[in-house]
Structure 1
Amino acid sequence: MAPVATDFDDPRFTAIGLLSEAYTGLHSRFAAQLEQHRVSPVEFEVLMRLARSPQNRLRMTDLAGQTSLSTSGVTRVVDRMDRGGLIRREACPSDRRSSYAVITEAGLARLDEILPGHLELVQRWFIDQLRPDQLAQMLEALRTVRDAVNPCATAGSTADDLPAAQAS
């Protein structure tokens, strides 16, 4: 058998491995807390994206770009959350092919229940682990990587992204 030429000590393996391990550890801590509120991590992500968007809504395609879901996956999640009263769909007045996902009052109320405990976990397991300068550097680095690998991640997230008739 020929010797393997791959250097398994390559620091690139370490970099991506540490990122993955940190994400997995944080995700599992968050998922347990979200389960107590009967919300899956992806449903929480959808609620947060909508709550933080102009007019508490995003086009379905923009929501797919901002989440870990495909367009069809977003449709399934939005339909399920619509049935649960957490979000609703609205037709786009300027493009009949598009529709918006909009967080409802019930969805905002659910976030009000979830967020105190969630933010406590974020503080304890992420923010408190870093000095302020480390956190600032990490956020800048993560934005740089995010923008390179997922340029759609912020689509529709500012009022400037809305059609003129919708921005007012």
Structure 2
Amino acid sequence: MQLSRFTDIGLRAIMRLAVSDEADDRVTTRLIARQVDASEHHVAKAVSRLIELGLVQAQRGRTGGLFITEAGRAVSIGWLIRELEDDREVVVCEGEHPCPLVGGCRLRRALADAKEAFYRELDRYTLDELVSGPTSGLLRLLATSAAGEYAKKEMS
């Protein structure tokens, strides 16, 4: 199963926010876009969804920025991907060009079962677990180097 670009960006954004702390400079959509190599527009859409889900908080103004919530730190990765992917089907059997086997095919059920097994496995992990250990160091390095470049460009 391949995740959508939207889900990929949402996961990258929340992982980046998970390693932020009070000492960090302000984390913005623009900064995250630079850090995760995505367009600001796409990051803004993903962050908006994360805010709707209660996993990220946005604060406006000079001292504002994006902050992960406690719910965001504890979220199950399986649940988060379900929400970002909108739990769509792996294969669409009906529609403009319906499959002629739709009435008697067992593939759709097998794929749905496989998708649920995929999510169940991801349900075993929380965001905090994913961003700990070596991943945390890499994310912090990414945040530090990209934030420095961003600050230099903003000042010039």
Bigger share in helix = 1
The answer to whether TM tops 0.5 is no
**Shorter-normalised TM range:** 0.3 to 0.5
TM-score (norm 1): 0.42
